[in-house]
Amino acid sequence: MSNQKLVIALTKGRILDEVLPLLEKAGVTPAEDMSKSRKLIFDSSMPDVQLMVIRGSDVPTYVELGSADIGIAGKDMILEYGSRGFYEPLDLRLARCRLMTAAMKGADLNLPRLRVASKFVNVAKRHFSACGRQVDIIKLNGALELAPLMGLADCIVDIVDTGNTLRANGLEALDTIAEVSTRVIVNRVSMKIKHDKVQQLLGRLREAIAGS
Ligand code: AMP
């Protein structure tokens, strides 16, 4: 973690598409077109700010361990990571969705032990343990809707936005585990030793949200 630079870890994909215009309003634009480059780290219009583009699931790791000062990631990734080893000072209110349980429409879930498929294994474990349910968690990396359809699992824990993907596959959303939106997280040490730079950026982002 360089003392001069402020390194921001951005989540690639949908969150990046929504966050870049907000960063631009806050005065931070990548020095080159991220979508046309294979680079993973970019200088920006602010000489002391660098932008990294990584998977959302890696953003909390980079920020907690201090290789990035600031991270921008979905609350789903932060909940799955599970640690409270960083600050979460700002909700950008972008890429909103819900973490939900879902099952085949009309499925009987009154089973002594549920088979639950998810990418969010920690979230799923915590949720069902809080409900006092015995579960076997099956880790999958995508297309979760297929798991109940193909008899691999009784239910899933997944991201739901409109619910169209679930409906198209004969599933129904059940319980909401968490409301999800894009959050700014800050390394605990950076918050102290780069206090002015971090606060200045947070202030600019707050203004950008208020104006959007
Ligand atoms: P939907 O059909 O609108 O409910 O969208 C469901 C799928 O879109 C999910 O399975 C996710 O893979 C993806 N998705 C929707 N919203 C988000 C989001 N905010 N962040 C990440 N993935 C999302």
133 ligand 1 Cβ < 6 A: no
Lay out the sheet containing 70-74: strands in order across: 41-43, 49-54, 6-11, 70-74, 182-187, 86-91
Locate 168 and state its tokens: 């198209």
Task: Report how far residue 115's alpha carbon sits from residue 155's, in angstroms, rounded to the nearest whole number.
Answer: 7
pLDDT tens for each residue of 5-50: 999 999 999 999 999 999 999 999 999 999 898 999 999 999 999 9
Task: Report how far residue 155's alpha carbon sits from residue 135's, in angstroms, rounded to the nearest whole number.
Answer: 10
Question: Which residues, given as ranges, of the chain have pLDDT below 70?
Answer: 1-3
The pTM for the full model equals: 0.95
Q: Which residues contact 133 (CB under 8 A, 6 or more apart)?
A: 114
74 ligand 1 Cβ < 6 A: yes
pLDDT value at residue 49: 97
pLDDT value at residue 3: 55
pLDDT value at residue 212: 75
Question: What phi, psi does 157 have (nearest 5°)?
Answer: -120, 120
Q: How far is the CA of 116 from the centre of ligand 1 (A)?
A: 19
pLDDT value at residue 92: 97
Using only the alpha carbons of the chain, give its radius of gyration. Answer: 19
Rounded to a whole number of angstroms, the distance between the first and last alpha carbons of the chain is 32
Q: How far is the CA of 160 from the centre of ligand 1 (A)?
A: 5
Q: Does residue 149 contact residue 99 with C-beta atoms inside 8 Å?
A: no
Q: Does residue 51 contact residue 42 with C-beta atoms inside 8 Å?
A: yes
